[in-house]
Amino acid sequence: MDYTISIGSNEQRRENMELARRRLTELFPGIRFSEEEETEPLFFHRPNLFSNQVARFVSDNPAEEITVCLKTIEREAGRKPEEKEREIVRLDIDLLSCDETVYKPKELKRGYILRGLKQLL
């Protein structure tokens, strides 16, 4: 199955994005990453910029298992649920799609996602 994910961080961005890429590469050999892009926060009042990236990989694992892996990496970066209300995103890794199934249609329309996907074609 072909998976597309997004990766983002607005706290300790360099370290957390590097952690995400390293762990994802360990779990999904052959994963391909778009260039990292710095973006303004979309829905936050906190002015911290985001680092964003898109990645694609192939896996035989079902989407539920992939999601568990992604959330485990977020926790490794120190993500805590209570930080969301303070608009701290240490690491956010979202499953956007698997083959023809789209999980985050609104996100797939965002400029940085579209640019990242174009790089990975």
pLDDT per residue over 2-21, tens digit each? 999 999 999 999 999 999 99
Q: How much is the pLDDT for 42?
A: 78
Q: CA 66, CA 37: separation in Å to the nearest integer?
A: 24
**Distance of alpha carbon 17 from the chain centroid:** 9
pTM attached to this predicted model: 0.94
Amino acid at 76: E
Q: How much is the pLDDT for 60?
A: 97
Does 2-119 carry CATH code 3.30.70.560? yes
Q: CA 53, CA 31: separation in Å to the nearest integer?
A: 13
Q: How much is the pLDDT for 121?
A: 85
Q: CA 91, CA 94: separation in Å to the nearest integer?
A: 10
**Domain positions in the chain:** 2-119
What 3-state class would DSSP assign to 90? coil
Enumerate residue ranges in the chain where pLDDT < 50.
Answer: none
